[in-house]
Protein backbone atom coordinates (compact mmCIF):
# COMPACT_ATOMS: atom_id res chain seq x y z
CA UNK A 1 0.00 0.00 0.00
CA UNK A 2 1.21 3.44 -0.90
CA UNK A 3 -0.06 6.98 -0.56
CA UNK A 4 0.29 8.45 -4.03
CA UNK A 5 0.45 12.21 -4.63
CA UNK A 6 0.19 13.56 -8.17
CA UNK A 7 1.74 16.93 -8.97
CA UNK A 8 4.08 16.26 -6.06
CA UNK A 9 6.65 18.92 -6.92
CA UNK A 10 4.06 21.67 -7.33
CA UNK A 11 3.43 24.35 -4.73
CA UNK A 12 0.68 22.37 -2.95
CA UNK A 13 2.13 18.93 -3.64
CA UNK A 14 5.41 19.69 -1.90
CA UNK A 15 3.54 20.72 1.24
CA UNK A 16 1.52 17.50 1.12
CA UNK A 17 4.56 15.24 0.72
CA UNK A 18 6.50 17.07 3.44
CA UNK A 19 3.63 16.68 5.88
CA UNK A 20 3.06 13.04 4.92
CA UNK A 21 6.67 12.30 5.81
CA UNK A 22 5.91 13.51 9.34
CA UNK A 23 3.19 10.85 9.64
CA UNK A 24 4.21 7.77 7.64
CA UNK A 25 7.49 6.12 6.55
CA UNK A 26 8.93 7.51 3.32
CA UNK A 27 8.69 4.15 1.58
CA UNK A 28 4.90 4.37 1.85
CA UNK A 29 4.80 7.62 -0.15
CA UNK A 30 4.87 7.80 -3.95
CA UNK A 31 5.42 11.17 -5.60
CA UNK A 32 4.13 11.42 -9.17
CA UNK A 33 6.11 14.01 -11.14
CA UNK A 34 6.75 15.00 -14.73
CA UNK A 35 10.44 15.74 -14.20
CA UNK A 36 12.41 13.33 -12.01
CA UNK A 37 15.16 15.91 -11.50
CA UNK A 38 12.80 18.23 -9.66
CA UNK A 39 12.08 15.44 -7.17
CA UNK A 40 15.70 14.64 -6.36
CA UNK A 41 15.31 15.95 -2.82
CA UNK A 42 12.26 13.74 -2.25
CA UNK A 43 14.05 10.69 -3.61
CA UNK A 44 16.93 11.41 -1.24
CA UNK A 45 14.47 11.18 1.66
CA UNK A 46 13.33 7.74 0.52
CA UNK A 47 10.15 8.72 -1.33
CA UNK A 48 9.33 6.55 -4.33
CA UNK A 49 9.34 8.66 -7.50
CA UNK A 50 7.03 7.84 -10.42
CA UNK A 51 7.33 9.81 -13.63
CA UNK A 52 4.01 10.40 -15.38
CA UNK A 53 2.25 13.14 -17.31
CA UNK A 54 -1.46 13.97 -17.32
CA UNK A 55 -1.14 14.43 -21.09
CA UNK A 56 0.29 10.95 -21.65
CA UNK A 57 -2.18 8.27 -20.47
CA UNK A 58 0.27 5.45 -21.09
CA UNK A 59 2.57 6.82 -18.37
CA UNK A 60 -0.07 6.00 -15.74
CA UNK A 61 -0.42 2.36 -16.79
CA UNK A 62 0.49 0.20 -13.80
CA UNK A 63 1.39 3.20 -11.66
CA UNK A 64 -1.34 2.56 -9.05
CA UNK A 65 -1.95 -0.64 -7.10
CA UNK A 66 -4.97 -2.02 -5.27
CA UNK A 67 -5.09 -0.53 -1.79
CA UNK A 68 -3.33 2.68 -2.70
CA UNK A 69 -4.70 6.00 -1.50
CA UNK A 70 -4.36 8.61 -4.23
CA UNK A 71 -4.41 12.40 -4.05
CA UNK A 72 -5.17 13.89 -7.46
CA UNK A 73 -3.98 17.48 -7.33
CA UNK A 74 -5.75 19.36 -10.09
CA UNK A 75 -3.65 20.41 -13.07
CA UNK A 76 -2.71 24.06 -13.39
CA UNK A 77 -3.06 24.38 -17.15
CA UNK A 78 -6.09 26.70 -17.12
CA UNK A 79 -5.96 26.99 -20.92
CA UNK A 80 -5.68 23.21 -21.47
CA UNK A 81 -8.19 20.38 -21.26
CA UNK A 82 -7.86 19.76 -17.56
CA UNK A 83 -10.88 17.47 -17.37
CA UNK A 84 -9.33 15.08 -19.90
CA UNK A 85 -6.05 15.22 -17.97
CA UNK A 86 -7.79 14.40 -14.71
CA UNK A 87 -9.77 11.61 -16.37
CA UNK A 88 -6.48 9.88 -17.23
CA UNK A 89 -5.60 9.64 -13.53
CA UNK A 90 -9.11 8.69 -12.41
CA UNK A 91 -9.43 5.90 -14.96
CA UNK A 92 -6.01 4.51 -14.05
CA UNK A 93 -6.97 4.60 -10.37
CA UNK A 94 -10.27 2.85 -11.09
CA UNK A 95 -8.54 0.16 -13.16
CA UNK A 96 -6.18 -0.54 -10.28
CA UNK A 97 -8.94 -0.57 -7.67
CA UNK A 98 -7.36 1.96 -5.34
CA UNK A 99 -8.73 2.24 -1.81
CA UNK A 100 -9.40 5.98 -1.93
CA UNK A 101 -9.22 8.79 -4.48
CA UNK A 102 -9.06 12.33 -3.13
CA UNK A 103 -9.35 15.28 -5.49
CA UNK A 104 -8.48 18.95 -4.86
CA UNK A 105 -11.50 20.80 -6.19
CA UNK A 106 -12.98 24.29 -5.79
CA UNK A 107 -15.64 25.57 -3.37
CA UNK A 108 -19.13 24.42 -4.21
CA UNK A 109 -20.34 28.01 -4.04
CA UNK A 110 -17.91 29.21 -6.72
CA UNK A 111 -19.64 29.94 -10.03
CA UNK A 112 -16.70 31.51 -11.87
CA UNK A 113 -15.39 29.83 -15.01
CA UNK A 114 -12.45 28.59 -12.95
CA UNK A 115 -14.80 26.14 -11.24
CA UNK A 116 -16.12 24.55 -14.45
CA UNK A 117 -13.28 22.06 -14.82
CA UNK A 118 -13.54 21.14 -11.16
CA UNK A 119 -17.26 20.44 -11.32
CA UNK A 120 -16.75 18.33 -14.46
CA UNK A 121 -13.91 16.42 -12.81
CA UNK A 122 -16.05 15.77 -9.74
CA UNK A 123 -18.60 14.12 -12.04
CA UNK A 124 -15.89 11.84 -13.43
CA UNK A 125 -14.77 10.96 -9.91
CA UNK A 126 -18.32 10.08 -8.84
CA UNK A 127 -18.93 8.04 -12.00
CA UNK A 128 -15.75 6.01 -11.40
CA UNK A 129 -17.36 4.15 -8.51
CA UNK A 130 -14.22 4.57 -6.39
CA UNK A 131 -14.34 5.57 -2.73
CA UNK A 132 -13.64 9.28 -2.99
CA UNK A 133 -13.05 12.49 -1.07
CA UNK A 134 -13.69 15.87 -2.63
CA UNK A 135 -11.42 18.47 -1.06
CA UNK A 136 -13.02 21.72 -2.18
CA UNK A 137 -10.14 24.05 -1.50
CA UNK A 138 -10.84 27.75 -1.12
CA UNK A 139 -8.46 30.48 -2.21
CA UNK A 140 -4.84 30.41 -1.02
CA UNK A 141 -3.30 33.23 1.04
CA UNK A 142 -0.34 32.91 -1.28
CA UNK A 143 -2.45 33.96 -4.28
CA UNK A 144 -2.09 37.44 -2.81
CA UNK A 145 1.08 37.37 -0.73
CA UNK A 146 3.18 36.06 -3.63
CA UNK A 147 2.15 39.14 -5.64
CA UNK A 148 3.26 41.80 -3.17
CA UNK A 149 5.96 43.26 -5.43
CA UNK A 150 3.56 45.26 -7.65
CA UNK A 151 1.51 46.23 -4.59
CA UNK A 152 4.58 47.75 -2.98
CA UNK A 153 5.77 49.27 -6.24
CA UNK A 154 2.52 51.07 -6.93
CA UNK A 155 1.30 51.50 -3.36
CA UNK A 156 -2.05 49.92 -4.15
CA UNK A 157 -3.98 46.65 -4.10
CA UNK A 158 -5.93 46.58 -7.35
CA UNK A 159 -8.86 44.26 -7.98
CA UNK A 160 -12.47 43.94 -9.04
CA UNK A 161 -13.84 42.29 -5.91
CA UNK A 162 -15.43 45.36 -4.38
CA UNK A 163 -16.20 44.78 -0.71
CA UNK A 164 -16.43 41.02 -1.20
CA UNK A 165 -14.71 38.77 1.30
CA UNK A 166 -12.35 35.81 0.88
CA UNK A 167 -12.07 32.84 3.25
CA UNK A 168 -8.49 32.05 2.32
CA UNK A 169 -5.93 29.95 4.13
CA UNK A 170 -2.30 29.00 3.59
CA UNK A 171 -1.33 26.21 1.21
CA UNK A 172 0.12 24.37 4.20
CA UNK A 173 -3.35 24.35 5.79
CA UNK A 174 -4.98 22.76 2.75
CA UNK A 175 -2.09 20.28 2.55
CA UNK A 176 -2.68 19.33 6.19
CA UNK A 177 -6.34 18.63 5.40
CA UNK A 178 -5.30 16.34 2.54
CA UNK A 179 -2.84 14.54 4.78
CA UNK A 180 -5.54 14.05 7.43
CA UNK A 181 -7.77 12.42 4.82
CA UNK A 182 -5.00 10.26 3.36
CA UNK A 183 -3.76 8.99 6.72
CA UNK A 184 -7.05 8.83 8.62
CA UNK A 185 -10.23 6.80 8.53
CA UNK A 186 -13.89 7.58 7.98
CA UNK A 187 -13.47 10.02 5.10
CA UNK A 188 -14.69 7.90 2.19
CA UNK A 189 -17.41 9.41 0.03
CA UNK A 190 -17.24 12.75 1.82
CA UNK A 191 -17.11 16.28 0.46
CA UNK A 192 -15.29 18.93 2.48
CA UNK A 193 -15.75 22.66 1.90
CA UNK A 194 -12.40 24.11 2.94
CA UNK A 195 -11.61 27.72 3.77
CA UNK A 196 -10.01 29.99 6.33
CA UNK A 197 -11.51 30.74 9.71
CA UNK A 198 -11.84 34.46 9.03
CA UNK A 199 -12.81 36.05 5.72
CA UNK A 200 -11.25 39.35 4.66
CA UNK A 201 -11.66 41.98 1.95
CA UNK A 202 -9.08 43.46 -0.41
CA UNK A 203 -9.39 46.74 1.50
CA UNK A 204 -8.44 44.92 4.69
CA UNK A 205 -5.59 43.21 2.88
CA UNK A 206 -4.28 46.58 1.70
CA UNK A 207 -4.53 47.96 5.23
CA UNK A 208 -2.63 44.95 6.62
CA UNK A 209 0.18 45.31 4.09
CA UNK A 210 0.34 49.00 4.95
CA UNK A 211 0.46 48.28 8.68
CA UNK A 212 3.30 45.79 8.32
CA UNK A 213 5.36 47.91 5.94
CA UNK A 214 4.64 51.30 7.44
CA UNK A 215 3.55 52.55 4.04
CA UNK A 216 0.32 53.94 2.64
CA UNK A 217 -1.27 51.15 0.62
CA UNK A 218 -4.53 52.00 -1.10
CA UNK A 219 -7.28 49.71 -2.28
CA UNK A 220 -8.28 50.53 -5.84
CA UNK A 221 -11.41 48.79 -7.14
CA UNK A 222 -11.91 48.60 -10.90
CA UNK A 223 -14.34 46.88 -13.24
CA UNK A 224 -13.86 43.22 -14.11
CA UNK A 225 -13.03 44.20 -17.69
CA UNK A 226 -10.46 46.76 -16.59
CA UNK A 227 -8.90 44.32 -14.16
CA UNK A 228 -8.55 41.72 -16.91
CA UNK A 229 -6.81 44.37 -19.01
CA UNK A 230 -4.45 45.20 -16.15
CA UNK A 231 -3.53 41.53 -15.80
CA UNK A 232 -2.87 41.27 -19.53
CA UNK A 233 -0.69 44.35 -19.27
CA UNK A 234 1.23 42.63 -16.50
CA UNK A 235 2.03 39.76 -18.86
CA UNK A 236 -0.72 37.20 -18.32
CA UNK A 237 -2.31 35.53 -21.36
CA UNK A 238 -5.73 37.00 -22.09
CA UNK A 239 -7.62 33.79 -21.35
CA UNK A 240 -6.03 33.38 -17.92
CA UNK A 241 -6.50 37.08 -17.15
CA UNK A 242 -10.20 36.76 -17.96
CA UNK A 243 -10.56 33.72 -15.69
CA UNK A 244 -8.82 35.44 -12.78
CA UNK A 245 -10.84 38.62 -13.19
CA UNK A 246 -13.94 36.44 -13.17
CA UNK A 247 -12.89 35.10 -9.78
CA UNK A 248 -12.91 38.67 -8.44
CA UNK A 249 -16.49 39.02 -9.65
CA UNK A 250 -17.30 35.87 -7.70
CA UNK A 251 -15.60 37.30 -4.62
CA UNK A 252 -17.81 40.36 -4.84
CA UNK A 253 -20.82 38.03 -4.97
CA UNK A 254 -19.70 36.22 -1.81
CA UNK A 255 -18.81 32.98 -3.58
CA UNK A 256 -15.43 32.58 -1.85
CA UNK A 257 -16.77 32.84 1.68
CA UNK A 258 -16.56 29.36 3.22
CA UNK A 259 -18.11 29.05 6.66
CA UNK A 260 -18.21 25.26 7.10
CA UNK A 261 -15.28 25.07 9.53
CA UNK A 262 -14.18 21.86 7.76
CA UNK A 263 -10.57 22.96 7.31
CA UNK A 264 -9.91 23.66 10.97
CA UNK A 265 -11.71 20.47 11.99
CA UNK A 266 -9.69 18.29 9.62
CA UNK A 267 -6.37 19.80 10.64
CA UNK A 268 -7.19 20.14 14.34
CA UNK A 269 -5.93 23.71 14.50
CA UNK A 270 -6.89 27.26 13.47
CA UNK A 271 -6.16 28.21 9.89
CA UNK A 272 -3.31 30.59 9.02
CA UNK A 273 -4.54 34.21 9.05
CA UNK A 274 -3.72 36.42 6.09
CA UNK A 275 -1.65 38.71 8.35
CA UNK A 276 0.70 35.82 9.16
CA UNK A 277 1.16 35.00 5.46
CA UNK A 278 1.81 38.67 4.69
CA UNK A 279 4.52 38.73 7.37
CA UNK A 280 6.11 35.56 5.98
CA UNK A 281 6.14 36.97 2.46
CA UNK A 282 7.68 40.26 3.55
CA UNK A 283 10.38 38.43 5.49
CA UNK A 284 11.21 36.03 2.65
Question: Cα angle at 85 between 147 and 108, to 5 degrees?
Answer: 60
Q: For the purposes of burial, counting CB atoms within 10 Å of the CB of 280, is it exposed (0-12), middle (13-18) or buried (19 or more)?
A: middle
Residue 77: predicted pLDDT? 64
**256 phi and psi, to 5 degrees?**
-110, 20
Buried b or exposed e, range 190-206, using 16+ CB within 10 angstroms? eebbbbbbebbbbbbbb
Per domain, the residue ranges of the chain are 3-138+171-194+259-271
pTM for the full model? 0.96
**75 phi and psi, to 5 degrees?**
-65, 155
Q: Order across the sheet with 48-51: list the strands.
A: 48-51, 29-33, 3-6, 69-72, 100-105, 132-137, 190-194
Residue 75: predicted pLDDT? 85
Give the domain 3-138+171-194+259-271 fold: Rossmann fold (3.40.50)
Q: How many whole angstroms separate alpha carbon 113 and alpha carbon 247?
A: 8
Residue 173: predicted pLDDT? 98
Q: Tell whether the torsion through CA atoms of 102, 103, 107 and 108 is positive or negative.
A: negative
Q: How many whole angstroms separate alpha carbon 135 and alpha carbon 149?
A: 31
Buried b or exposed e, range 211-232, using 16+ CB within 10 angstroms? eeeeeebebebeebeebbbbbb
Answer whether 275's CB lies under 8 Å from 198's CB. no
Averaged over successive runs of 10 residues, the pLDDT of the chain (284 residues) comes to 95 98 97 96 98 94 96 78 95 98 97 94 98 98 96 97 98 98 97 98 98 98 97 92 94 98 98 98 95
Amino acid sequence: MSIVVTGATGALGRHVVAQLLEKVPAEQVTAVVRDRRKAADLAARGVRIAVADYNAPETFAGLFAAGDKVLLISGNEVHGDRVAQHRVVIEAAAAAGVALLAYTSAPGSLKAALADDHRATEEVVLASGLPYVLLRNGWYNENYTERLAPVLEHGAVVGAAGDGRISSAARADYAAAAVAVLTGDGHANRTYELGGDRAWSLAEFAAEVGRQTGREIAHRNVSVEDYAGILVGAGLPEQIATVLAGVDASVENGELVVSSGDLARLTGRPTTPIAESVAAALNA
